[in-house]
Amino acid sequence: MTKIKLCGLSRPCDIHMANELTPDYIGFVFAKKSKRYVDPEKAVQLKALLDPAIKAVGVFVDEAPEAVANLLNSGIIDVAQLHGGEDEVYIKRLRQLTDQPIIKAFQIRAQADINKAEHCSADHILLDSGAGTGAVFDWSLLKNVKRPYFLAGGLSPGNAREAVRLLHPYAVDVSSGIETDGLKDREKAEAFIAAVRKEERS
């Protein structure tokens, strides 16, 4: 079964929606430049509302590893997702500070980006079109990927089923594709999850 991540949740109503729709993961964005940014105090409040069966992922861009580890070790988040220039030295340092899972995101523009992602030491890799651009990249680049991956970038209720059918990713990750006017839209989230699960059942 392809796992589902709803990213960029920032309001209590977003968490209640997730609890009802039961994705595998939700994401809190800790990058201050993001319009979906939540601070650690807000994340504590939101995590307290979240069904414990759903993993909370913290999304970071070049954050100090100590700060990331603190959020992991305190249980505010369950997984760290690194979206900046974090390299193998950074990942090694983070592993010294925590034993919680790490996802490293890669912007996919060419085969060289795939090769780099496949050799990453993070627990999971996420293949994306860019930093929240909401655009799909060339999926044909993924045809020879050997490693399980999170697929992100431009996913929506309209293309989620096709993505799962063609690519069989480990997980699909959506944010702007389930929003209306910059806020999470329950109908779109429901349609996205239904599309993924419909393909899984077919």
b/e sequence 108-121, b meaning 16+ C-beta within 10 Å = beeeebbeebeebe
How far lies 58's CA from each of 78, 83, 90, 97, in Å?
Answer: 8, 10, 16, 16
Q: Is 39 a catalytic residue?
A: no
Q: Tokens 């995101």 — which residue?
A: 105
Nearest-5° Cα angle at 86, 178 to 61: 40
Question: Catalytic residue among 14, 78, 128, 173, which?
Answer: 128
> Do the beta carbons of residue 135 and residue 108 sit within 8 Å?
no
Q: Is 51 a catalytic residue?
A: no
Question: Catalytic residue among 7, 14, 78, 120, which?
Answer: 7
What amino acid occupies position 119? H
* Among candidate residues 28, 30, 25, the one with its CA nearest the CA of residue 60: 30
* Among candidate residues 34, 102, 101, 153, the one with its CA nearest the CA of residue 10: 34
What gap in Å lies between CA 49 and CA 98, rounded to an integer? Answer: 24
What gap in Å lies between CA 179 and CA 66, rounded to an integer? Answer: 32
* Residues tagged active-site: 7, 128
